[in-house]
Amino acid sequence: MKKFWKPLATAFLGSLLLTSPAQAETLRLVLTGDIYELDSDKGRGGMAKLATVVEQQRASGDTVMFVHAGDTFSPSLLSGFVKGKQMVEMFNAMNLDLMVLGNHEWDFGPEVLRERIKEANFPIMATNVREGNGQPIEGTLLTHMVEVGEHKIGFMGLVTPNTKEISSPGDMTFAPQLETAKAVAKDLRDQGANLVIVLAHLDYLEDMEIVNSGVVDAVLSGHDHYKITWDNGKTVWMESGEEAENVAVMTIDMETVVDGDKKSFEWEASMQMIDTKNVHSDRYIAGLTKGYEDFLSNLLDVEIGNTAVEVDSRRPSVRSKETVMGNVIADAMRADVDADVAITNGGGIRGNKVYPEGTMLTRRDIVAELPFGNKTVKISLTGKQIKEALENGVSQVENGAGRFPQVSGLKFVWNPKGDVGNRVEMVEIGGKPLNENQTYSLATNDYMGRGGDGYSMFKNAERLVNESGARLMATVTADYIQQQGGLKGTLEGRIQSK
């Protein structure tokens, strides 16, 4: 993977005429992102193995920066209890050099985010994010300049504007990524940056927009959970996947070439993925991890009942169709607050696994499925608003969006080929056709109740049970399964596609 500011032939010819030798430096960027769990899974990933890779790279003798592309404070089983404090502790111990915020950093709201930022010993960027008063988030940087020898590398950190819909940032605002990149790149170059790098938490298309614009030299990204090494001849782009199963390393060789009284800057980049399967675990970080695992075990390793059927909570399933797991969670929510119907977003179900029939479930399993710490609220809506909610829920199925509805107390038929906003063709509540003028009570989670995932019709609805009087969804669901004598749900045709 190479990129030069001067053609190779010109650089070679110039080298024959130099009056001063080239001044060369190397920068290694060690990238992770979208890492939620402390321990490895099936031999890959986890904090202790990540720490070993970072230390191995730091031993190279080059200038090394360990950078994080966002999403780590949430979601996880542990984060449901300590709200991301464990990740700050881990990255403080690993001497993280730079991080950009990801959408999941806002899962517990702005106040918790501010607490985590204060606890961090590493710089955090959110270049395109502002508080409601227009000021940067306290404790974050808009830009970051690093000197490697005589070369300057300027960083900015961009967060997907979609965070407004998929997390809980309150009144914070998110500027468009490309517009921000253009303006900040110019500012960094005016400050003398030889290279401009975006540390990004953006989706694939948002990344592509910046890469193809050519306004920056490198994009180090997260959010999609992809493994990417890309070079279009002008901009290089790297993403490391998820859970530190692989660690991405970009090596940038830089030199200033002096030809008489003229100087020119040249660079080239190579990229690699380090598979952590055979990497040994760092003993200190492994010890921190074990302490947190012991803490969880005391709370959660309590049996609540067997599964009566196979139960699917895989990400593609809960975001596209009726699932037993979704049915049971929605049933539990509806029963807890005595509502007519329940709607919860498939994206809030995070176990991403299949439980064979007869599996003994524990409270740990349920908190792993519902790690965000959301509560069950009850609101009042008209039938028309409920239909609008279902339309929103199926509006982005083709994109795998988390807004897909898992429901209780209602059935609906939808057409995936229909126009967005006109996909829902039939709705029944309590076995009767939906009455758009009738008022119904609806159980949902507090995130959706605030308008999250595009459910704007919930935001100003009358509160029958508000957050202050609500219980955790995970507790509600675990109690429900235990009271039922196990997970006994089935597929009932609640959600049907044509």
Mean pLDDT of 60-73: 97
Share of the chain above pLDDT 90, in %: 86
Which class for 398: exposed (0-12), middle (13-18), buried (19 or more C-beta within 10 A)?
A: exposed
DSSP state of 132: T
Task: Select from 42, 54, 114 the least CA-distant residue to 84.
Answer: 114
End-to-end CA distance of the chain: 46
| Residues 334/443, Cβ–Cβ less than 8 Å | yes
| Residues 114/139, Cβ–Cβ less than 8 Å | yes
| Global pTM value | 0.78
**Distinct helix (H) and strand (E) counts, the chain:** 16, 27
Mean pLDDT estimate for the chain: 93
Residue 41's pLDDT is what?
A: 76
- 15: amino acid identity, one letter: S
Task: Select from 411, 412, 394 the least CA-distant residue to 403.
Answer: 394
Q: Which residues contact 314 (CB under 8 A, 6 or more apart)?
A: 352, 353, 354
Domains of the chain: 8-291 (3.60.21.10), 301-497 (3.90.780.10)
- Band (pLDDT 50/70/90 cuts) for residue 494 is very high
Task: Select from 332, 282, 278, 203 the least CA-distant residue to 42.
Answer: 278
Task: Select from 288, 475, 374 the least CA-distant residue to 74.
Answer: 374
Share of the chain above pLDDT 70, in %: 95
CA 258 from chain centre, in angstroms, equals: 44
DSSP state of 319: T
Judge whether residue 39 has pLDDT over 70.
yes
Q: CA-CA distance, 484 to 340, in Å (whole number)?
A: 20
What does the angle CA 99 – CA 100 – CA 104 come to, to the nearest 5 degrees? 115
**CA dihedral over 302, 304, 310, 316, signed as positive or negative:** negative
- Helices 47-58 and 283-300, packing angle to 10 deg: 170
Token pair recorded at residue 460: 């100003």
Judge whether residue 12 has pLDDT over 50.
no
H or E segment and range at residue 158: strand 151-159
- Helices 473-483 and 324-337, packing angle to 10 deg: 100
Judge whether residue 263 has pLDDT over 90.
no
Mean pLDDT of 342-361: 97
Residue 282's pLDDT is what?
A: 97
Q: CA-CA distance, 106 to 74, in Å (whole number)?
A: 8
Judge whether residue 23 has pLDDT over 80.
no
Q: CA-CA distance, 343 to 495, in Å (whole number)?
A: 12
Look at 2-16, 79-93, 403-417, 470-484 and tell me which has the smallest mean pLDDT. Answer: 2-16
Q: What residues are paired with 361 via a beta bridge?
A: 305
| Residues 238/248, Cβ–Cβ less than 8 Å | yes
Residue 73's pLDDT is what?
A: 96
Task: Select from 63, 62, 56, 68 the least CA-distant residue to 31.
Answer: 68
Q: Which residues contact 141 (CB under 8 A, 6 or more apart)?
A: 123, 124, 125, 157
Mean pLDDT of 13-17: 39
Q: Which residues contact 43 (CB under 8 A, 6 or more apart)?
A: 277
Residue 24's pLDDT is what?
A: 87
Which class for 234: exposed (0-12), middle (13-18), buried (19 or more C-beta within 10 A)?
A: middle
- 250: amino acid identity, one letter: M
Query: For 367-422, what is each residue's pLDDT tens digit?
Result: 999 999 899 999 999 999 999 999 999 999 999 999 999 999 999 999 999 999 99
Token pair recorded at residue 306: 């067997």
Look at 23-32, 59-68, 293-302, 436-445 and tell me which has the smallest mean pLDDT. Answer: 293-302
Task: Select from 339, 315, 349 the least CA-distant residue to 444.
Answer: 339
| Residues 271/1, Cβ–Cβ less than 8 Å | yes
H helices present in 45-109, as ranges: 47-58, 79-82, 85-93
